[in-house]
Structures are given as structure tokens and as C-alpha cells.
Structure 1
Amino acid sequence: MRLTEFSELMQTEFGSLTADSMLRDHVLIDFGGRTGAEALEAGIDPKLVWVALCREFDVPRERW
């Protein structure tokens, strides 16, 4: 998944303000206590970050 697709999915699912806040502030257990933004900066595949956020925020599986 490309970062542009990831950004589009985040904004569509959560709205731009919430998506930005989630990436900066929410700590993801799957990535050793990193936020989504930190995980992306560390080179973690955006698809993995997307799935982790979907799981933690109860997004229906068909939208993962």
C-alpha cells in the first residue's frame, strides 16, 4: 500500500482531523508503543499500520 492510499483510507474512514490526531497521538501496541506516524516514519508498511488502526478502532473487517 502506498502512503497516498493510506492517507485516503484514513481520511475516508475517520475524517481528516480525527485521522491526523490518531496518527500523532494513539499508541499502537503492535508496533512497540509507537504511534502510527512513528511507525510510518520507521519504514513500517502502511498496510500494516492501517490494519493495526482498524483493529484497535473496531473498523468492520470488510473495510480493512
Structure 2
Amino acid sequence: MRRSEFLRAVDAEFDGRASSLVNDLVLATLSGRTASQALDDGVPPREIWLALCAAADVPLERRHGAGRLEPRRG
């Protein structure tokens, strides 16, 4: 997952709460950092996405492949 895919996935999943969650929600699984801080620190966007999903109770079926413009080809 690229940074741009991460940002698209967050916008799609959380809509109006996206900015607040990325900038304000402290994630214990990311060493007490926000998603924004973790991105700036070089944490892989996929790891941040999964941590954010877990904290926000996003169902498993909506966590995989999110943010991609086109589905992966088999």
C-alpha cells in the first residue's frame, strides 16, 4: 500500500472523520503515535491502515485492498 492508497482508503472508510482520525487518534500499536506521525516516521502505510482499522473496529472484509484505484489482477 502506498501513502496515496492509504489516504484514499481512510477517506473512503471514514469520510468526514478521516482527517480527525489520522491526525488526532493515538494508536497504541504504533507506539503511541497518530497515523500522521507514523507516516512521517516512515512506518509502512499498510501497517498504519491495519492499526487504524483495528482501533476503529472496521470489519475485516473492508481492510484488504482498500485505497487501490483498480483491483489487483490475479
TM-score, normalised to structure 1, is 0.94
**Separation in 1, partners of 2:11, 2:31:** 24
Q: Distance in 2 between matches of 1:4 and 1:13?
A: 14
> 2:38 maps to what in 1?
39
Q: By percentage of residues, which structure has more helix?
A: 1
How many pairs are equivalent?
63
**TM-fit CA distance, 1:58:** 0.5
Shift of 1:52: 0.3
Map 1:22-37 onto structure 2 (within 5 A): 22-37=21-36
1:6-64 Cα distance to aligned partner (Å, 9 max, x none): 1110000001x311110110000011110110000000000000000100101000111
Q: TM-score, normalised by structure 2?
A: 0.82
Larger Rg: 2
Q: Which residue of 1 is the match for residue 72 of structure 2? A: none
Structure 2: runs of 5+ lacking an equivalent:
64-74
Q: Which residue of 1 aligns with 2:54?
A: 55
* Identical residues among aligned pairs (%): 43
Q: Compare relative contact order (CA 8 Å, sep 6+) and give the higher one, 1 or 2.
A: 2
